[in-house]
Copies of this chain bind each other. A is one copy, B any other.
Amino acid sequence: MEAITALENESATRTNQGTVKVFSKTIEVKTTERTDLLNISDEIRSFVEATGIADGHLQICVLHTTAGIFINEWQDALVTDMKAIIEKVVPQNFSYQHNEYPEFSDCDKNNAHSHLRNIVVGHSLTVPISEGKLVLGKWQRVIFSEFDGPNQRKVFLQVFGI
Protein backbone atom coordinates (compact mmCIF):
# COMPACT_ATOMS: atom_id res chain seq x y z
CA MET A 1 0.00 0.00 0.00
CA GLU A 2 1.29 3.45 -0.85
CA ALA A 3 1.57 5.63 2.22
CA ILE A 4 0.35 8.58 0.19
CA THR A 5 -3.09 6.98 0.02
CA ALA A 6 -3.05 6.34 3.75
CA LEU A 7 -3.49 9.93 4.85
CA GLU A 8 -7.07 11.12 5.10
CA ASN A 9 -9.16 13.71 6.88
CA GLU A 10 -6.37 16.11 7.65
CA SER A 11 -7.29 18.79 10.15
CA ALA A 12 -6.67 22.45 9.44
CA THR A 13 -3.24 23.70 10.49
CA ARG A 14 -3.26 25.76 13.69
CA THR A 15 -0.66 28.53 13.70
CA ASN A 16 0.72 30.78 16.42
CA GLN A 17 3.76 33.02 16.93
CA GLY A 18 5.35 35.11 19.65
CA THR A 19 7.96 35.39 22.34
CA VAL A 20 9.07 32.10 23.86
CA LYS A 21 8.63 31.36 27.55
CA VAL A 22 10.36 28.54 29.40
CA PHE A 23 9.23 27.01 32.70
CA SER A 24 11.51 24.47 34.40
CA LYS A 25 10.90 22.44 37.52
CA THR A 26 12.17 19.28 39.20
CA ILE A 27 9.62 17.04 40.90
CA GLU A 28 10.27 14.01 43.08
CA VAL A 29 8.60 10.64 42.73
CA LYS A 30 8.59 8.10 45.54
CA THR A 31 8.47 4.44 44.57
CA THR A 32 7.71 1.48 46.82
CA GLU A 33 8.69 -1.68 44.92
CA ARG A 34 11.84 -2.90 43.11
CA THR A 35 9.96 -2.64 39.79
CA ASP A 36 7.23 -0.03 40.14
CA LEU A 37 5.04 1.76 37.60
CA LEU A 38 3.30 5.03 38.48
CA ASN A 39 0.77 7.04 36.50
CA ILE A 40 1.97 10.65 36.91
CA SER A 41 -0.25 12.13 34.18
CA ASP A 42 -2.36 14.35 36.45
CA GLU A 43 0.66 16.01 38.08
CA ILE A 44 2.28 16.58 34.68
CA ARG A 45 -0.91 18.07 33.28
CA SER A 46 -1.32 20.42 36.26
CA PHE A 47 2.19 21.79 35.80
CA VAL A 48 1.63 22.41 32.08
CA GLU A 49 -1.74 24.11 32.50
CA ALA A 50 -0.41 26.36 35.28
CA THR A 51 2.16 27.83 32.88
CA GLY A 52 -0.49 29.24 30.56
CA ILE A 53 1.50 28.20 27.49
CA ALA A 54 -0.78 27.81 24.45
CA ASP A 55 1.51 26.10 21.90
CA GLY A 56 4.80 24.31 22.41
CA HIS A 57 5.88 21.23 24.25
CA LEU A 58 6.72 19.63 27.57
CA GLN A 59 10.00 17.79 28.03
CA ILE A 60 9.99 15.15 30.82
CA CYS A 61 13.38 13.71 31.81
CA VAL A 62 14.11 11.14 34.47
CA LEU A 63 17.46 12.12 36.01
CA HIS A 64 18.56 8.54 36.73
CA THR A 65 20.02 5.58 34.86
CA THR A 66 17.85 2.91 36.53
CA ALA A 67 14.41 4.41 35.99
CA GLY A 68 12.53 5.41 32.84
CA ILE A 69 9.35 6.93 31.46
CA PHE A 70 6.93 5.98 28.70
CA ILE A 71 3.36 6.49 27.49
CA ASN A 72 0.69 3.80 27.48
CA GLU A 73 -2.76 2.93 28.80
CA TRP A 74 -3.14 2.71 32.57
CA GLN A 75 -5.09 -0.47 33.30
CA ASP A 76 -4.33 -2.86 36.18
CA ALA A 77 -4.04 -6.04 34.08
CA LEU A 78 -1.89 -4.24 31.51
CA VAL A 79 0.39 -2.84 34.22
CA THR A 80 1.00 -6.45 35.35
CA ASP A 81 1.81 -7.35 31.74
CA MET A 82 4.20 -4.39 31.39
CA LYS A 83 6.24 -5.69 34.33
CA ALA A 84 6.17 -9.23 32.86
CA ILE A 85 7.31 -8.20 29.39
CA ILE A 86 10.09 -5.99 30.79
CA GLU A 87 11.31 -9.02 32.79
CA LYS A 88 11.10 -11.18 29.64
CA VAL A 89 13.04 -8.71 27.45
CA VAL A 90 15.70 -7.78 30.06
CA PRO A 91 15.68 -10.47 32.76
CA GLN A 92 16.81 -9.70 36.29
CA ASN A 93 19.00 -12.82 36.30
CA PHE A 94 21.47 -13.08 33.43
CA SER A 95 25.26 -13.22 33.23
CA TYR A 96 25.80 -9.51 33.95
CA GLN A 97 29.38 -8.33 34.67
CA HIS A 98 28.03 -5.23 36.41
CA ASN A 99 26.78 -7.54 39.18
CA GLU A 100 30.17 -9.25 39.66
CA TYR A 101 31.26 -7.20 42.67
CA PRO A 102 34.08 -6.66 43.41
CA GLU A 103 35.66 -8.83 40.70
CA PHE A 104 34.50 -6.86 37.64
CA SER A 105 32.43 -4.03 39.08
CA ASP A 106 32.66 -1.29 41.71
CA CYS A 107 28.88 -1.50 42.24
CA ASP A 108 27.35 -3.91 44.78
CA LYS A 109 23.71 -3.11 44.03
CA ASN A 110 23.07 -6.14 41.78
CA ASN A 111 21.16 -3.80 39.48
CA ALA A 112 22.51 -4.42 35.96
CA HIS A 113 18.99 -5.25 34.77
CA SER A 114 17.74 -1.92 36.16
CA HIS A 115 20.20 -0.01 33.99
CA LEU A 116 19.61 -2.10 30.89
CA ARG A 117 15.81 -1.88 31.05
CA ASN A 118 16.19 1.87 30.80
CA ILE A 119 17.87 1.52 27.37
CA VAL A 120 14.78 -0.27 26.04
CA VAL A 121 12.16 1.95 27.71
CA GLY A 122 13.87 5.35 27.44
CA HIS A 123 14.54 8.06 30.03
CA SER A 124 12.68 10.96 28.44
CA LEU A 125 9.47 12.04 26.66
CA THR A 126 8.46 15.06 24.63
CA VAL A 127 4.72 15.82 24.69
CA PRO A 128 3.32 18.64 22.54
CA ILE A 129 1.07 21.39 23.90
CA SER A 130 -1.67 22.80 21.69
CA GLU A 131 -4.45 25.26 22.59
CA GLY A 132 -3.18 25.22 26.19
CA LYS A 133 -3.52 21.44 26.62
CA LEU A 134 -1.11 18.50 26.56
CA VAL A 135 -1.61 16.59 23.32
CA LEU A 136 -2.37 13.03 24.43
CA GLY A 137 -4.77 10.49 22.98
CA LYS A 138 -7.83 9.33 24.91
CA TRP A 139 -6.02 6.39 26.55
CA GLN A 140 -2.49 7.78 26.72
CA ARG A 141 -1.01 8.21 30.20
CA VAL A 142 2.50 9.23 31.29
CA ILE A 143 3.96 6.30 33.22
CA PHE A 144 7.05 6.58 35.42
CA SER A 145 8.94 3.27 35.51
CA GLU A 146 11.08 2.44 38.53
CA PHE A 147 13.55 -0.38 37.88
CA ASP A 148 15.55 -0.21 41.12
CA GLY A 149 13.21 0.77 43.93
CA PRO A 150 12.03 1.53 46.47
CA ASN A 151 13.54 4.91 45.80
CA GLN A 152 13.07 8.67 45.71
CA ARG A 153 13.50 9.88 42.12
CA LYS A 154 13.95 13.25 40.44
CA VAL A 155 12.07 14.09 37.24
CA PHE A 156 12.87 17.32 35.39
CA LEU A 157 9.98 19.07 33.62
CA GLN A 158 10.41 21.86 31.09
CA VAL A 159 7.58 23.63 29.28
CA PHE A 160 8.78 25.56 26.23
CA GLY A 161 6.37 27.55 24.09
CA ILE A 162 4.34 30.67 23.41
Contact = CB atoms under 8 A, between A and B. Distances in A.
A132 B20 CA distance: 16
A23 B15 contact: yes
A20 to B, nearest CB: 5
Interface string A65-106: 100001111011110111011101110001111101000111
A28 B3 contact: no
A126 to B, nearest CB: 6
Contacts of A24: 13-15, 55, 128, 130
Most buried by B among A6, A71, A126, A137: A6
A135 B59 CA distance: 11
Contacts of A6: 29-31, 38, 40
Given A89-B90, A136-B63, A137-B64, A97 B119 contact: no
Contact of A65 (B4, B72, B96, B152): B72
Given A18-B19, A32-B1, A63-B137, A126 B123 contact: no
30 contacts: A3-B39, A3-B42, A4-B42, A8-B28, A8-B30, A11-B25, A14-B23, A15-B24, A16-B21, A17-B22, A19-B19, A22-B55, A55-B160, A59-B126, A62-B137, A63-B135, A63-B137, A65-B71, A65-B140, A70-B122, A72-B118, A73-B115, A77-B107, A81-B115, A84-B96, A85-B94, A89-B89, A123-B140, A124-B125, A160-B161
